[in-house]
Chains A and B, each alone.
Chain A
């Protein structure tokens, strides 16, 4: 089960280490805010938990009127980073080892941080999947997609934490709100 605790307001910080059991929003979260702008979540590799976290983030974006293309982009980046965390970062760790996800949404941007407990990842080690000789390789596209859709993708520390920023596109460019590439 996931451990959840929302962090009210827009600031980063605070670690959700609430009790296990049912994965629902902490009673400590502000009762006036049904869609919190930020949260710290510890997510095990279970589909229902991943979707619950995604839905929290997508609802926070919807509450601030981010367009569908923006939510597509952020969801994709979160999916890809979680796949990397569980499949690669936690390869040699117990199956129930959680990944720590933080998000913060305001009117201009969405900030994401995904931290696994693995040995770290060197983005430069990933071969360019768009080269002709790599086009038929079935893996290695997650990072490419994260970078295409996010304004910032940065690996921190030993490479077990990735921070990403999505910037709301200018209103005029709303129809092109997808990838930055």
Chain B
């Protein structure tokens, strides 16, 4: 479990906002190249080819490599940075938050928060994103020298171990999924597979899934399994909408997903004596599966999710056991694919 944690923390520490995933992609590509031929494509996807070349079945594993963040839109006369969201950042966690600005150098910044005595009784209100700014403590001239519009900003939070096997970090959505894919590949390292296996760590999920769209087209698989995160039980989240930390893989069932695959995952989880939870959605899934499944002539797809608390904040929480179980479940599925 310690190795898994270290891998996850290493992945979480690398920046990778949508469209700017290279630093994170580089680390993932290096990791995956121990097991197969790995490369980064023109959309920023990491693609690793494994298994039996030219086999009838070609399984694609997907997890997105990008994370939510902010993007610099301008610099004001006093050197404060105007920002926009890059993916669905929850603005309630922004005021007073430490951030890292990836300009010509990496700068510590703070999301401006008007002092309470000036809030005129409106301290309930969180300003819209175009009214929020980032303070890097630089004058306009200094800021313009080091930062330009388009530079990315991450909410700062060091990955950390909580009690037991639980961990907190920014970007667990979906570096936890990427970690599960790498772990799955590790579990399959000594197996002669009957299928071709391609691992795609896809870019730009948080802004629409463009990476998965183009990645799936170029991989052209016969089936796909995507790993993303889903809601874990926490106060304020209705129980019917969530799994549970440590409660095992959340196996997606939805009209947009392939029911035969979903059912097989349930059987495999039962056979392994592994906890699991059904994650039922009424239409599409809001994950890369929506793009993957309609690529070319269509790709039967499954969605396995890792339960996660506080999604889209800088303090997301997961249980490492769930990552291990998701990896094991996928490995079990891939091992039984017939030639």
A binds B: no
